[in-house]
């Protein structure tokens, strides 16, 4: 196998520019120093988060080049743990990108590499063909709803904050599993790191967890913050329910020794220079339109646009079609400011720009939300209004806007959320319209909304979900894509 690994390394290096080869040597030096010298590198374990995105695949290729380069000139090299979190919104294309990249880099059969995935808090061998478990799908659905409902109905449309919390919990636990890791590597930009930390803290507040006194905006304080949050970031939502524990429990270390290493400064090539490595060698297949327009890693572009249309229709009294078209126009302005290839603009126009296909697009997005997130259109609309928190403060407004026939049942609805008796048809309506059990709705009823006045994550604005145009730096990719995940 050593000959095979040498061949992989040579082919990998053939795609690197001179600047990238220099950066690779600097990365190797940084890893060796962090390990305590070349004599200790064989006992050093590195964690790489793999989401199947363009940037995480590129980062993994750099780490593999470093691992094999050290192995070619030393008795041992560092160990590599590659870990993926399974969420409801994870696209099959992302899993296929992970598989193709890992196969091209010969990771699967290398004893120095662990390929892992986490599904419903269970650590498993990575398998791109395995569907997410039914228990994992339901847990993710409930967590998304519980976190998403903790907002004011007329506040920022940050409905997918659960993704930050789930990912943070995943980072903290996968770093402790099976003797732990020494370092977690990320190539995220400082702005993207700040986005994640802000999103994590916002989501933690929605989950009823204690605020932090830390002021770091990057990942240097990430593990300390995760230690504050604990291993179950959803405990305040389900005090009377048994949540799945992280398992196998006996393989988790009590103490974590992990540090963080930032390699963003080593990404010397621009995006266009990376494409041959990504596509020709790693077999990466980009969803180009989503990569340029998506405003959140946890929900697809079509669902983002769909939600924008639903908000316009039910919350603001405008038309669905008008808002989706506005979403497209704002996106096109941003794309052209960045001087992106015209093919992206043409693809966006083809997807969202034809009014005759708008109804079809709405139907497809509704089906996608049901299939991937387990949410009906009625449940998405309910989520927009967040009618249960703060003792049902927005419930009457929600009913008047969307379900006027239920206004007569308003007293029974409040009684049910307070834990009292109510007619069966009222209870069933609550479950159907929200996607939550009556007891979980009661939990939300006793919680207040989490209101933010400052520090909004780039890409959102009060009352809207989508691409924000004014005030954004067109040179900043995060402002356009909203991507933030570590390793992307």
Reference 86, options 298, 240, 285; nearest CA is 298
Could you give the CA distance from residue 155 to residue 19 in angstroms, rounded to a whole number?
46
Whether 159 has a pLDDT exceeding 80, the answer reads yes
Rounded alpha-carbon distances, angstroms, from residue 225 to 25, 173, 211, 298, 471: 32, 13, 10, 22, 30
| pLDDT per residue as tens digits for the range 358-381 | 778 888 889 999 999 999 999 999
pLDDT tens per residue, range 196-231: 999 999 999 999 999 988 888 899 999 999 999 998
Give the Cβ contact number of residue 408 at 10 Å: 9
Mean pLDDT of the region 444-466: 57
Measuring CA to CA, which residue among 95, 106, 104 is closest to residue 128? Answer: 95
Asked whether the whole model's pTM tops 0.95, one would answer no
Which of the two residues, 242 and 123, has the higher pLDDT score?
123
For range 314-327, the mean pLDDT? 86
Which of the four pLDDT bands, split at 50, 70 and 90, describes residue 466? very low
User: What order of strands is seen across the sheet that includes strand 79-85?
Assistant: 122-125, 113-119, 79-85, 45-49, 183-186, 259-262
Of 249-263, 307-321, 343-357, 358-372, which range is least confident?
A: 343-357
**pLDDT beyond 70 at 463:** no
Average pLDDT over residues 236-256: 88
- Here the tokens at position 286 are 């980009």
Q: Give the single-character DSSP code of 284.
A: -
Q: What is the pLDDT of residue 474?
A: 33
The C-alpha atoms of residue 466 and residue 293 are separated, in whole angstroms, by 9
Report the range out of 109-123, 182-196, 307-321 with the highest average pLDDT. Answer: 109-123
The size of the chain, in residues, is 488
Q: How far apart are CA 29 and CA 25, in angstroms?
A: 6
What is the pLDDT at residue 364? 87
Under the banding of pLDDT at 50, 70 and 90, the label for residue 325 is confident
pLDDT at position 412: 97
Pair 26, 69: CB distance under 8 Å: no
Residue where the block lists tokens 């400064």: 265
pLDDT tens readout for residues 91-122: 788 999 999 999 999 999 999 999 999 999 99
Across residues 300-323, what is the average pLDDT? Answer: 87
pLDDT over threshold 90, residue 457 = no
Residue 346: CB partners within 8 Å, gap ≥ 6? none
pLDDT given at position 435: 98
- Distance, in Å, from the CA atom of 464 to the CA atom of 324, rounded to the nearest integer, reads 11
Q: What confidence tier does 355 reach under pLDDT thresholds 50, 70, 90? A: low
Mean pLDDT estimate for the chain: 86
Share of the chain above pLDDT 90, in %: 66
Q: Which has the closest alpha carbon to 86: 123, 53, 37, 54?
A: 123
Name, in order, each residue with C-beta under 8 angstroms of 3's C-beta and a sequence gap of 6 or more.
none
**Quick one: pLDDT at residue 243?**
84
Q: What is the pLDDT of residue 471?
A: 29
Per DSSP, helices labelled H in 38-120 are 54-71, 92-104
| pLDDT tens digits for range 265-304 | 888 877 778 889 999 999 998 765 565 555 566 777 778 8
Q: How does DSSP assign 124-172, residue by residue?
A: EE--TTSPPPHHHHHHHHHHHHHHHTSS-TTSB--TTTHHHHHHHHHHH
Read off the pLDDT of each residue in 53-78 and give the average, rounded to a whole number.
95
pLDDT of amino acid 478: 33
Q: What are phi and psi of 359, to 5 degrees?
A: -65, -40
pLDDT score for 360: 80
Determine how β-strand 113-119 pairs with β-strand 122-125. Answer: antiparallel
- Tally helices (H) and strands (E) across the chain: 21, 8
pLDDT of residue 297: 67
Q: What is the pLDDT of residue 299?
A: 77
Question: Which pLDDT score, from 0 to 100, does residue 468 have?
Answer: 33
Other CB atoms within a 10 A radius of the CB of residue 367 amount to 12
Which two structure tokens, joined as six digits, stand for 222? 């990430």
DSSP 183: E
Q: Residue 184's pLDDT is what? A: 97
pLDDT for position 383: 97
pLDDT in tens, 135-154: 999 999 999 999 999 999 88
């Amino acid at each position: 196998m050593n000959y095979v690994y040498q061949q992989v390394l040579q082919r990998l290096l053939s795609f690197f520019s001179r600047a990238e080869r220099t950066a690779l040597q600097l990365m190797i030096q940084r890893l060796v120093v962090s390990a305590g010298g070349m004599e200790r590198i064989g006992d050093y374990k590195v964690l790489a988060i793999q989401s199947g995105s363009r940037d995480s695949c590129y980062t993994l290729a750099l780490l593999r080049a470093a691992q094999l380069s050290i192995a070619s000139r030393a008795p041992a090299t560092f160990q590599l743990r590659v870990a993926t979190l399974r969420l409801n919104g994870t696209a099959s294309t992302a899993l296929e990108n992970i598989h193709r990249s890992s196969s091209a880099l010969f990771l699967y059969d290398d004893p120095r590499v662990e390929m892992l995935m986490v599904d419903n808090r269970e650590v498993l061998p990575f398998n791109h063909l395995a569907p997410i478990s039914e228990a994992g799908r339901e847990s993710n659905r409930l967590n998304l709803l519980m976190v998403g409902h903790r907002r004011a109905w007329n506040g920022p449309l940050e409905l997918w904050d659960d993704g930050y919390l789930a990912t943070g919990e995943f980072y903290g636990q996968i770093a402790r599993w099976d003797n732990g890791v020494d370092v977690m590597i990320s190539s995220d930009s400082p702005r993207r790191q700040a986005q994640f930390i802000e999103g994590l803290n916002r989501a933690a507040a929605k989950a009823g967890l204690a605020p932090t006194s830390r002021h770091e905006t990057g990942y240097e304080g990430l593990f300390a913050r995760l230690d504050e949050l604990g291993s179950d970031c959803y405990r305040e939502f389900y005090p009377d329910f048994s949540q799945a524990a992280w398992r196998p429990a006996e393989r988790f270390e009590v103490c974590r020794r992990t540090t963080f290493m930032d390699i963003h400064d080593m990404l010397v090539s621009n995006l266009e220079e990376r494409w041959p490595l990504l596509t020709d060698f790693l077999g990466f297949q980009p969803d180009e339109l989503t990569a340029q327009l998506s405003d959140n890693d946890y929900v697809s572009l079509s669902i983002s646009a769909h939600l924008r249309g639903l908000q316009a229709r039910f919350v603001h009294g405008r038309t669905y079609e008008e808002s989706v078209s506005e979403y497209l126009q704002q996106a096109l302005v941003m794309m052209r400011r960045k001087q992106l290839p015209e093919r992206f603009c043409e693809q966006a126009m083809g997807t969202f720009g034809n009014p005759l296909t708008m109804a079809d697009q709405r139907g497809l997005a509704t089906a996608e939300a049901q299939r991937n997130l387990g949410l009906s259109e009625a449940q998405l609309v309910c989520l927009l209004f967040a009618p249960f928190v703060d003792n049902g403060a927005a419930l009457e407004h929600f009913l008047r806007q969307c379900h006027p026939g239920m206004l007569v049942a308003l007293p029974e609805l409040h009684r049910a959320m307070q834990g009292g008796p109510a007619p069966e048809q009222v209870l069933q309506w609550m479950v159907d319209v929200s996607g939550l059990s009556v007891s979980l709705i009661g939990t939300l009823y006793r919680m207040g909304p989490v209101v933010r006045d400052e520090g909004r994550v780039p890409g959102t604005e009060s009352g809207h979900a989508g691409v924000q145009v004014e005030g954004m730096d067109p040179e900043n990719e995060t402002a356009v894509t909203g991507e933030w995940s570590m390793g992307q």
